[in-house]
């Protein structure tokens, strides 16, 4: 066992009847690391989180979470993990303080009142402590949920799309808080659909149809994509995109604001495909592929739409 790893699991598998939701996933996350867990809806992200924290029992696999056996020591893991669900799951007819106090009671937190007071202050909730949870905006509900899943001082936080439906300012403040907590040694596994949030993580893992397609640092993920991308500016980009998508070697032709990203995994074939169009009125510039370009490419490879 590697003592530096908060999560060290191999072959994690979960089946529901004939459907395999998580298919032999290996994942390692170091202590104090923020790992972004990405994938489309239904890819198995939530199921994997629930297996890690002991809410679901894996059908196959082995490893440790916070040093405890992930299959047999689920109760010990639950005491040291905070899990923030996709949907707001606290009591809307209770105040912020009452919600935190209730969760603290469930975990038998020592010095409960003092712990609740400190939690309110740490996440900027003290002035709203008597406000009913049901009256909170999305950003404040998010803060309450984060405070609640940290009330028992866990070592690992599993956050399932925590910023869905939250405005950009609240998302930024949330991520600043996450990085501060990680700097104090707390470990995070966070599911997200936002590429800007993925770029804030130390490491990434990308899952599709229950299978882990890639993992590593951002630079490692981009390098493994083996993708070449051109940025194209100029007139009538929609028409140009339609023409390019039919060319061998072009795997993606996608609008990004006022430009077009044209990508392919075979750089020579891509060069040949775009050559006739580079003589026109458009400005072509080779750029580094982005995470979204790479993830779409990985999805297409997985689905057999393009060759790996």
Query: Which of the four pLDDT bands, split at 50, 70 and 90, describes residue 282?
Result: very high
**pLDDT at 178 (0 to 100):** 93
pLDDT more than 70, % of the chain: 97
**pLDDT at 304 (0 to 100):** 64
pLDDT of 210 over the 90 cut: yes
**pLDDT at 8 (0 to 100):** 97
**pLDDT at 305 (0 to 100):** 62
Q: Which CATH class is domain 226-302?
A: alpha beta
- Note the pLDDT tens digit of each residue in 129-156: 999 999 988 888 888 999 999 999 999 9
**pLDDT at 306 (0 to 100):** 62
**pLDDT at 73 (0 to 100):** 93
**pLDDT at 2 (0 to 100):** 62
Sign of the Cα pseudo-torsion (145, 74, 67, 65, in order): negative
What average pLDDT does this structure show over 89-99?
92
> Which residues in 281-306 are b (16+ Cβ under 10 Å) and which e?
ebeeeeeebbbebbbbbbbbbeeeeb
pLDDT of 1 over the 80 cut: no
**pLDDT at 86 (0 to 100):** 82
- What's the whole-number average pLDDT of the chain? 91
**pLDDT at 307 (0 to 100):** 57
- The residue extents of the domains of the chain are 226-302
- Here the tokens at position 147 are 């405070």
What average pLDDT does this structure show over 89-114?
92
**pLDDT at 165 (0 to 100):** 76
- Note the pLDDT tens digit of each residue in 218-244: 999 999 889 999 999 999 999 999 999
pLDDT of 171 over the 90 cut: no
pLDDT of 118 over the 70 cut: yes
pLDDT of 123 over the 60 cut: yes
């Amino acid at each position: 066992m590697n003592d530096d790893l908060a999560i060290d699991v191999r072959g994690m598998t979960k089946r529901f009847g004939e459907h395999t939701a998580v298919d032999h996933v290996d994942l390692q996350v170091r202590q104090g690391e923020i790992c972004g867990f990405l994938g489309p809806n239904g890819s198995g992200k939530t199921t994997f989180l629930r297996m890690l924290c002991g809410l679901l029992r894996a059908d196959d696999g082995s490893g440790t979470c916070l040093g405890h056996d992930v299959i047999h020591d689920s109760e010990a893991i639950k005491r040291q993990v905070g899990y923030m669900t996709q949907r707001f799951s606290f009591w809307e007819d209770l105040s912020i303080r009452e919600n935190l106090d209730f969760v603290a009671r469930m975990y038998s937190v020592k010095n409960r009142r003092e712990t609740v007071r400190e939690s309110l202050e740490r996440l900027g909730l003290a002035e709203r402590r008597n406000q009913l949870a049901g009256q909170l905006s999305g950003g404040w509900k998010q803060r309450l949920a984060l405070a609640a899943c940290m009330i028992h001082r866990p070592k690992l936080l599993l956050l399932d799309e925590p910023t869905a439906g939250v405005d950009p300012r609240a998302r930024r403040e949330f991520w600043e808080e996450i990085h501060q907590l990680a700097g104090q040694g707390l470990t995070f596994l966070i599911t997200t659909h936002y590429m800007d949030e993925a770029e804030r993580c130390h490491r990434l893992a990308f899952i599709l149809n229950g299978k882990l397609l890639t993992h590593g640092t951002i630079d490692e993920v981009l390098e493994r994509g083996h993708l070449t991308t051109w940025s194209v500016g100029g007139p009538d980009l929609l028409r140009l995109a339609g023409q390019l998508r039919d060319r061998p070697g072009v795997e993606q032709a996608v609008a990004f604001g006022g430009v077009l990203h044209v990508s392919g995994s075979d750089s020579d074939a891509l060069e040949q495909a775009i050559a006739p169009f580079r003589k026109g009125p458009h400005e072509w510039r080779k750029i580094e592929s982005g995470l979204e370009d790479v993830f779409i490419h990985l999805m297409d490879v997985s689905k057999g739409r393009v060759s790996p």
